[in-house]
Structure 1
Amino acid sequence: MYDEILLPVDGSPAAEQAIPHVFDLAERYDATVHVLFVVNTTRDNAGIIGGTVLETLEQEGQRVVDEVVERGESRGIETVGAVRRGAPHETILDYATEHGAEVIAMATHGRTGVERVLLGSVTERVVRTAPVPVLTVRATG
């Protein structure tokens, strides 16, 4: 059913909770897991992002991706990683299309009310606009 699964990660405890679900799916369907970290370079962050800061964020993203890839490979799952720059939801969707992902699996951060309205949600935007199914894992705790 699924040959290519996209797992966007950001190093948060919420994102961590999606990983076991994705690895279980990958084992069940003998799928490749694509682990993606997006460095947010949207205009909302433009004032704080400079050359050194951007490089630091990319290095942290690579560390997160490498750790998840290593965990997948230790379970015998074909796992590849990438770090990209851009608007997170758009970059996730672009990557999914480029790599033929048949499902995107990601965590929700559990925001509600005014906080959700004001901050928005990358997961929510992906769910609303993805051309493939999106598996969401609600963060607990």
Structure 2
Amino acid sequence: MDIKRILWATDGSGEAELALEYAKYLAKLTGAEIIGVHVIPLPVQLLFESLRDEDEEFREWQSKVERRVSDRFVEVRNELLHSGIKFDGVILKGIPSDKIREFSRLRKADIIVMGKQGHGLIESMMVGSETVKVLKSSHIPVLAAKRPEPGKEIKISSIVVPIDLADDNETALNCALDLAGMTGAGVTAVYALRLDMYAQDMPASALDIVIKQSVKELRERTEEIKAKYDSSHGAAVKGGIKTDVIHGLSPAISVANYASRNNADLIVINTHARTGLKRLVLGSVTERMIQESPCSVLSLRP
């Protein structure tokens, strides 16, 4: 995971300021520059110049927002200058998710860092709607930042990677290994065995057999992926990969609870599988994971 440009998407909320702290953390690890982008959200009808020009109140509001954001970008630039981190801030207008996606391509960003929730109407939703829209459409990894527990510094020392044994995709685990190499974090691959409602009537011995088989498959899968990773990088990541099999009615909640119990700092997950019936549509497991997660979530396409 080569990070040279970090796109920090901000709406001025507390969650966005938290996302900046994660962007700084990654920039210090990688030497990357940070590009801040604030999109002034315009209703579709206000995207037409003729309507905007006739609305004096709207123009005043827009100017006020631009001044506030510009001042904040200057503060960030001066602050990061002392840390040796290059910063550039840009203000755009339009539909936030579309503009963020387009701008990330234009500036050739390697990762987008943003808050799990924004403010105003967005904050009232379970997950910020713009964050979810960016996750759905982004061609690069998106880090949805979550505030750590009080007194806990922002760092990545423990990474949880949900694994789908029915899919041979290796992207998330490879990404986690890249981050482990940068941060020294431990990596745990987790398979969440989904139990249907009728599973409560399953004999304990049968469930035990399924779990043991899953443990075996997960261990073999992770060993294979790590061997290929070490070979391609010419060195082994310290600490190896731990594995664990958990079970419950909801894979997303099971993984979130596991991350909480084990004090994970980050969950790395694919937004969906590659093709066919295995496709995991964002809005189900991945979105639920972001909603329930006690820590930040890094989502990426396979």
* Fold shared by both chains (TM-score > 0.5): yes
The one of 27, 30, 35 aligned to 2:181: 27
Q: How many residue pairs end up in the alignment?
A: 131
CA contact (8 A) 2:253 2:292 kept: no
Match of 1:109 in 2: 272
Provide, for residues 58-90 of structure 1, a one-character-per-residue CA deviation record: whole Å limited to 9, x for no partner.
Answer: 234212321215654862332211111112111
What is the SS of the residue equivalent to 1:10?
A: coil
TM-score by length of 1: 0.76
Match of 1:50 in 2: 202
Instruction: Give 1:7-22 correspondences, 5 Å limit.
Output: 7-11=161-165, 12-14=167-169, 16-22=170-176
CA contact (8 A) 1:36 1:82 kept: yes
Larger radius of gyration: 2
Q: In structure 1, what is the Cα distance between the partners aligned to 2:213 and 2:268?
A: 21
Match of 2:86 in 1: none
Structure 1: state its 5+ residue gaps: none
Q: In structure 2, what is the Cα distance between the partners aligned to 1:10 and 1:36?
A: 9
1:131 maps onto 2:294 in alignment = yes
By how many angstroms is 1:92 displaced?
Answer: 0.3
By how many angstroms is 1:116 displaced?
Answer: 4.2
What is the SS of the residue equivalent to 1:37?
A: strand
Instruction: Give 1:74-113 correspondences, 5 Å limit.
Output: 75-78=236-239, 79-86=241-248, 87-109=250-272
Runs of 4+ in 1 over 6 A off after TM superposition: none
Structure 2: state its 5+ residue gaps: 1-154, 231-235
Decide whether aligned partners of structure 1 residues 99 and 138 sit closer, same or farther in structure 2, where only a CA change above 3 A counts.
same
Q: In structure 2, what is the Cα distance between the partners aligned to 1:122 and 1:25?
A: 23
Q: In structure 1, what is the Cα distance between the partners aligned to 2:224 and 2:261?
A: 23
Q: In structure 2, what is the Cα distance between the partners aligned to 1:64 and 1:137?
A: 23
